[in-house]
Amino acid sequence: MTALKPLGRAILFALIGFLIGAGLSAALVEAAGRDEMKEPIIAGGYMFALIGWLFGVGVWGSWVREWFGATVKPFHIEGWGRYLGFSTDHKVIGVQYGVTTIVIFLLAGALALLMRIELADANSTLLSRTDYNTVMGLHGIMMIAVAVAALMGGFANYVMPLMIGADDVAFPRLNALSFWIVPPVAVLLILTPLFGGMDTGWTGYPPLSSQGPTGNLLFLMAFTTFGLSSILGGLNFLATIITMRAPGMTWSRIPIFVWAVFAASLISLTATQFVAYALLMVIFERVFGMHFFDGTIGGDAILFEHVFWFYSHPAVYVMILPAFGIELEILSHFARKPVFAYKWVVRAFFSIVGLSFVVWAHHLFTSGMSSELHGPFMVLTELISIPTGVVFLAAVGTIWRGRLWLKTPMLFAMGVIANFLIGGLTGLYVADVVTDLNFQDTYFVVAHFHYTIVGGEIFALMGAIYYWYPKITGRMYSERLGRIHFIGMMVLYNVTFIPMFIVGAQGMNRRVADYPAEFENLNMFITVSSLLLGLAFIPFVYNMVNSWIRGRKAGDNPWGARTLEWQTTSPPPEENFETQPVVVEDPYGYGDPDAKHFEFPSGSGHVAEPAGGDD
């Protein structure tokens, strides 16, 4: 029961906060003589509720008290209970993020299936058009949150400090804060249907988002809050990688995944602030009656689109860069070969980061922005193909003439190559202005971005889950179920999304519950295969839960991998390594009998089991 205390206190504080905030706002609204306005009360209440929640869950007790000279009580609970409170251990936070994002992923996946069932026939039957919009928007924003937070919040948090031989991240309390900001986001999103739903999709373009149901306000506040979490995470990872590397871990020796996290963090830290401003301005439109984006009263709707995509394009690289990192990491360890062209890949990552900031307006080719901008943004966008191509070459070069060990993580990593190939190549058509004039806002785009986010990142996420599962849980998953999951997901995923390219090219636009009856056959096909795709996740969930409880002990290094996270116990002790490892070379010395990534100062430290373990 003590484990639940912080949560109970947090909920209580949140409620008290809400009442205070709502009361104050109501008084202000009353004083201004605008009794009809409800949204300021909700927004004010939420702001205080958020603060109350964070204070209650542990920010007060283990952080803020210090500012007033009082002693802080570090959070210390053994066993499962530690996952329910304000723990500052990056491994606990990684698991908190990981489990939360997987749950949201499954929920949002269920929403996707609901949409697909609605789309089985041409009319709106199951869902009204309003409800469809809500379901679609919630699926979108929840999945975006998963895509941004699962690899970065979950795996980068858990694994990155271990990989660089650190005992934690640079700012452990900030790390906990950035996780505990996420549950309020989920609560807001789950409440939107009770407030009239949302009708803007995850992009929330005004003037639509500054009108319409109060659900839109909840969505805007959720997105803004989530942005704060990502900014803090990015800051923390950068500081960690810069300052906490083990002795000898020079920049040319850090694992490729760590480079990917570094590059992605640069984007999270800087770009997210822009979308937060844009969303806040829409919130101000709703709450204070301002008009930034309404062209009929002196505002400009296209301005929002620019600022929104100034974040949201780079954000896709927050999703895909860590996925590239994981892909290459897994390929190397399971092909028993060094990451091919390591330095070129690092250069490619940073070229991608740089270019990602100057291509946003490719989302605006049909927006009515000045057509002089079309050419430059098209050219810049297509340039990204060059560094992305380098990542492909590295992937193929890594497995080429290797000794491929086709375990589940490896299967998923190779799935990323195949799927992201389709995602990347179809990107050409939406980067080219002329073809985009047709494809923009059709199912072609829907297929394209699912190929990048699901085919690229979610496949990498699955690979990461299987790869680090034995490290995190100390137990081995069932290889058979893992393979069934992979084959089911790979086949059905492609069968579901390839037809979306076709139906889009034939003229079906997106974000619709009704469509011309001509498209019914293809849509029926997509719906059936998406339902089967949903079934492919049953062995996954079963495997994860069952193996955590009953799986056999995995050993410290079941994959015989050379990076540091495998050179400590599974799961690692709270301080990560019993003695500080010293790094002597990069971790990819496969095939070289003299290669050695690290050493533990002699006579001390945990000696890992020899590579292999028992399988």
**Which residues in this chain contact ligand HEM in the complex, by CB under 6 A?**
109, 112, 115-116, 136-137, 139-140, 143-144, 146-147, 201-202, 446, 450, 453-454, 458, 496, 510-511, 530, 533
- Mention every residue, 6+ apart, whose C-beta is less than 8 A from residue 154: 94, 95, 97, 98, 101
Amino acid of residue 34 = R
Q: Does 580 bind other proteins (CB under 8 A)?
A: no
Q: Is the distance from CB of 94 to CB of 157 less than 8 angstroms?
A: yes
Closer CB to other proteins, residue 120 or residue 512? Answer: 512
> From the CB of 534, what's the least distance to ligand HEM, in Å?
6
Binding partner selected for residue 589 from Cu ion, other proteins, ligand HEM, none, CB under the kind-specific 5 to 8 Å limit: other proteins
Helices (H), 205-341: 215-243, 256-288, 301-335
Q: Is the distance from CB of 551 to CB of 476 less than 8 angstroms?
A: yes
Binding partner selected for residue 452 from other proteins, Cu ion, ligand HEM, none, CB under the kind-specific 5 to 8 Å limit: none
Tell which residue, 338, 354, 460, has the closest CA to residue 394.
338
583: helix, strand or coil: strand
> From the CB of 567, what's the least distance to other proteins, in Å?
15
Contact mark string toward Cu ion, 260..299, x via CB under 5 A? ----------------------------------------
> From the CB of 290, what's the least distance to ligand HEM, in Å?
25
Q: At what angle do helices 301-335 and 342-356 cross, to 10 degrees?
A: 170
Q: Does 289 bind other proteins (CB under 8 A)?
A: no
Measured from the Cβ of residue 372, the count of other Cβ atoms closer than 10 Å reads 7
> From the CB of 496, what's the least distance to Cu ion, in Å?
23
> From the CB of 204, what's the least distance to Cu ion, in Å?
15
Pick from 294, 483, 491, 606: which binds other proteins (CB under 8 A)? 294
Residue at shortest CB range from Cu ion: 313
Q: Is the distance from CB of 378 to CB of 431 less than 8 angstroms?
A: yes
- The residues in 68-107 that bind other proteins, with binding defined as CB under 8 A, are none
What the block records as the tokens of 435 is 């073809």
Rounded CA-CA distance 312/387 in Å is 20
- The residues in 424-483 that bind other proteins, with binding defined as CB under 8 A, are 425, 428-429, 432-435, 437-438, 440-442
Closer CB to other proteins, residue 286 or residue 374? Answer: 374
Q: Does 199 bind other proteins (CB under 8 A)?
A: yes
Closer CB to ligand HEM, residue 494 or residue 567? Answer: 494
Closer CB to Cu ion, residue 291 or residue 511? Answer: 511
Q: Is the distance from CB of 570 to CB of 577 less than 8 angstroms?
A: no
Pick from 25, 87, 100, 133: which binds other proteins (CB under 8 A)? 133
In this structure, the strands spanning 582-583 and 598-599 are antiparallel
Measured from the Cβ of residue 31, the count of other Cβ atoms closer than 10 Å reads 8
> From the CB of 582, what's the least distance to ligand HEM, in Å?
39
Pick from 66, 518, 574, 599: which binds other proteins (CB under 8 A)? 518
Closer CB to ligand HEM, residue 110 or residue 428? Answer: 110
Q: Is the distance from CB of 177 to CB of 225 less than 8 angstroms?
A: no
Binding partner selected for residue 140 from other proteins, Cu ion, ligand HEM, none, CB under the kind-specific 5 to 8 Å limit: ligand HEM
Pick from 343, 549, 550, 603: which binds other proteins (CB under 8 A)? 343
Mark residue 204 as left, alpha or beta (left: phi above 0; alpha: psi -120 to 50; beta: remaining): left
Binding residue count for Cu ion, defined by CB under 5 A = 1
Q: Is the distance from CB of 320 to CB of 349 less than 8 angstroms?
A: no
> From the CB of 132, what's the least distance to ligand HEM, in Å?
9
Mark residue 289 as left, alpha or beta (left: phi above 0; alpha: psi -120 to 50; beta: remaining): left
Q: Is the distance from CB of 598 to CB of 583 less than 8 angstroms?
A: yes
> From the CB of 129, what's the least distance to other proteins, in Å?
6
Stretch that binds Cu ion, among 90-98, 144-152, 305-313, 327-335 (CB under 5 A): 305-313
Binding partner selected for residue 313 from other proteins, Cu ion, ligand HEM, none, CB under the kind-specific 5 to 8 Å limit: Cu ion
Rounded CA-CA distance 396/328 in Å is 10
Stretch that binds Cu ion, among 123-131, 306-314, 436-444, 468-476 (CB under 5 A): 306-314
Binding partner selected for residue 374 from ligand HEM, other proteins, Cu ion, none, CB under the kind-specific 5 to 8 Å limit: other proteins
Tell which residue, 412, 370, 366, 416, has the closest CA to residue 394.
416
Binding partner selected for residue 144 from ligand HEM, Cu ion, other proteins, none, CB under the kind-specific 5 to 8 Å limit: ligand HEM
Q: Does 601 bind other proteins (CB under 8 A)?
A: no
Q: Does 611 bind other proteins (CB under 8 A)?
A: yes
457: helix, strand or coil: helix
Tell which residue, 446, 476, 458, has the closest CA to residue 537.
458
Stretch that binds other proteins, among 73-81, 93-101, 336-344, 544-552 (CB under 8 A): 336-344
Identify the burial level of 141 via C-beta atoms within 10 angstroms of its C-beta, where 0-12 means exposed, 13-18 middle and 19 or more buried.
buried
Using alpha carbons, list the distances in angstroms from residue 140 to 145, 210, 495, 536: 9, 19, 21, 21
- Mention every residue, 6+ apart, whose C-beta is less than 8 A from residue 116: 526, 527, 530, 531
Rounded CA-CA distance 544/473 in Å is 10
Measured from the Cβ of residue 298, the count of other Cβ atoms closer than 10 Å reads 8
> From the CB of 275, what's the least distance to Cu ion, in Å?
13
> From the CB of 424, what's the least distance to other proteins, in Å?
9
Binding partner selected for residue 518 from ligand HEM, other proteins, Cu ion, none, CB under the kind-specific 5 to 8 Å limit: other proteins
Stretch that binds other proteins, among 76-84, 98-106, 307-315, 330-338 (CB under 8 A): 330-338
Rounded CA-CA distance 512/122 in Å is 10
Pick from 82, 91, 313, 337: which binds Cu ion (CB under 5 A)? 313
Rounded CA-CA distance 111/572 in Å is 36
Binding partner selected for residue 416 from Cu ion, ligand HEM, other proteins, none, CB under the kind-specific 5 to 8 Å limit: none
- Binding residues for Cu ion, rule: CB under 5 A, are 313
